[in-house]
């Protein structure tokens, strides 16, 4: 239940090296929890940290596991992917969502890479459907393919495009699909040059927006160039309220409830 000026970080990795900096994560959770962040959706990029994430969720009830394989690790072999799927199936009851999964053509866009990323993305969508979980999608320089796959494979399910970076037109197309769609808004919104994202926030109904850090990356102004922390989300909420011209408290409450709806908590 929402409490005044409380927040939810819908997408975080906490640190750069989740295995080496494990003790550091505990401190980050404590610090932000004491500054009104009630839930942390701790997303994996690779199989190697699945167990660490589960351990953290065991230790802190405010930490919610989001497990999946990031597009960059889709090039690993089938046995790696299957190990990840098996782990998710076995721990399904404790997992909040499948992610982050998706497509990223930023560094490599050969047909082999593209096809493999699509294949793995679809596999995890099918897993999410089977387990009745939301998906947390990463999409970079691959917006059309991401849209096409979601349109074809995801019906009447919860789809969260994290760190949304495409146009308002694409966002509107997503909103037309028979889905429960959410766009993750983070520190980028506070940057002066983020015209496209400010436009998305202005034009898209607030019921589709959720707050996230993608920590340790993309800290909002005035913390830019520092490591991101979950409670910095208050800067993002202030900016959303400013753009949408809604009262600050109401904006906090709406964004909080959107996150509860997305993850069914």
Binding span for Zn ion by CB under 5 A among 104-112, 201-209, 210-218, 239-247: 210-218
Binding span for Zn ion by CB under 5 A among 108-116, 142-150, 206-214, 238-246: 206-214
By CB under 5 A, how many residues form the interface with Zn ion?
1
CA distance to 12, 13, 188, 219, per residue, from 227 (Å):
12, 11, 14, 6
Distance in angstroms (rounded) separating the CA atoms of residues 19 and 200: 35
Calculate the CA 56 to chain-centre distance. Answer: 18
DSSP assignment string, 172-205: HHHHHSSSEEEEEE-GGGGSTT-HHHHHHHHHS-
User: Which of 104/214 has CB closer to Zn ion?
Assistant: 214
CA distance to 47, 62, 97, 183, 208, per residue, from 22 (Å):
16, 16, 22, 29, 33
Write down the least CB distance from residue 217 to Zn ion, Å: 8
User: Which of 214/239 has CB closer to Zn ion?
Assistant: 214
Write down the least CB distance from residue 8 to Zn ion, Å: 15
User: Which of 214/235 has CB closer to Zn ion?
Assistant: 214
Structure tokens at 125: 């969508």
Write down the least CB distance from residue 135 to Zn ion, Å: 13
Structure tokens at 30: 């404590």
Write down the least CB distance from residue 222 to Zn ion, Å: 22
Binding span for Zn ion by CB under 5 A among 79-87, 116-124, 211-219, 239-247: 211-219
Name the residues that contact Zn ion, by CB under 5 A: 214
């Amino acid at each position: 239940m929402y409490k005044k000026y409380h927040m939810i970080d819908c997408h975080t990795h906490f640190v750069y090296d989740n295995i080496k900096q494990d003790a550091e994560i505990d401190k980050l959770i404590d610090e932000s929890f004491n500054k009104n962040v009630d839930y942390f959706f701790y997303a994996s990029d690779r199989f190697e940290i699945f167990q660490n994430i589960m351990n953290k969720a065991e230790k802190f009830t405010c930490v919610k596991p989001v497990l999946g394989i990031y597009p960059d690790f889709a090039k690993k072999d089938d046995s790696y992917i299957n190990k990840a799927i098996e782990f998710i199936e076995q721990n399904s009851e404790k997992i909040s969502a499948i992610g982050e999964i998706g497509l990223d053509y930023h560094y490599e866009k050969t047909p082999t890479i593209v096809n493999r990323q699509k294949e793995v993305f679809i596999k995890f969508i099918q897993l999410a459907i089977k387990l009745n979980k939301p998906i947390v999608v990463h999409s970079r320089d691959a917006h059309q393919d991401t849209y096409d796959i979601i349109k074809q494979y995801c019906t009447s399910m919860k789809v969260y495009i994290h760190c949304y970076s495409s146009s308002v037109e694409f966002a509107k197309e997503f909103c037309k699909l028979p889905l429960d769609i959410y766009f993750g808004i983070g520190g980028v919104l506070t940057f002066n040059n983020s015209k496209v994202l400010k436009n998305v926030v202005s034009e898209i109904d607030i019921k589709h927006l959720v707050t996230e850090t993608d920590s340790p990356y993309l800290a909002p102004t005035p913390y830019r160039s520092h490591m991101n922390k979950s409670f910095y989300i208050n800067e993002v909420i202030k900016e959303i309220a400013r753009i949408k011209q809604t009262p600050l408290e109401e904006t906090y409450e709406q964004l909080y409830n959107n996150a509860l709806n997305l993850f069914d908590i």
